[in-house]
Amino acid sequence: MVVEVSDRCLRDRDYQIRIGDLKDWEAKQGRSLNDAIVLLRTGFARYWPERRRYLGTAELGAVAIAKLHFPGLHPEAARWLASERTVKAVGIDTASIDYGQSRGFETHIALLRAGIPALENLAGLEQLPDSGFTVVALPMKIRGGSGGPLRAVAIVPD
């Protein structure tokens, strides 16, 4: 399911997607996010590959970390998805599931502790319907790694 939050995110680079955003989507769609792969469309994919617009800075290295500005999923919303819904994965069209200014990576922790994979840097979410498609996400296996690149595709029925 694609949860559209680009209006808020494009107004506020540091926007954190809240429980209310997810509940609003459910109310509008008349369905729950249960048993779904939840894809969060912030609209930031449109800025790739321009680093300054996509990440908030064109700088590289340790000095750039404090200058990262892009939206993400609020840790409370991640905990809500993990405890109040039975989501299979959460994806986003930004560089991280945590927003750019995160230092504790609480969203990562909340999702991964619950066994919910996080898919980042997704593209083409604007081409998907709100629901009714299948996601296939094939990660590269990296021994001892905590994550890895993946190829994600959506299959939309006719």
CATH number at residue 27: 3.50.30.50
Count CB-CB contacts under 10 A for residue 27: 9
Residue 129 and residue 116 in contact, taking contact as beta carbons nearer than 8 Å: no
Q: What pLDDT is attached to residue 26?
A: 97
Residue 57 lies in a domain: yes
- Total count of domains within the chain: 1
Residue 139 lies in a domain: no
Q: What pLDDT is attached to residue 130?
A: 94
DSSP 3-state assignment of 104? coil
Q: What pLDDT is attached to residue 80?
A: 98
Q: What pLDDT is attached to residue 146?
A: 75
- Structural domain including 87 reads 2-130
Which ranges of the chain have pLDDT less than 70? none
Q: What pLDDT is attached to residue 17?
A: 98
Q: What pLDDT is attached to residue 87?
A: 97
Tokens coding 112: 């991964």
DSSP secondary structure letter of residue 141: P
Residue 135 lies in a domain: no
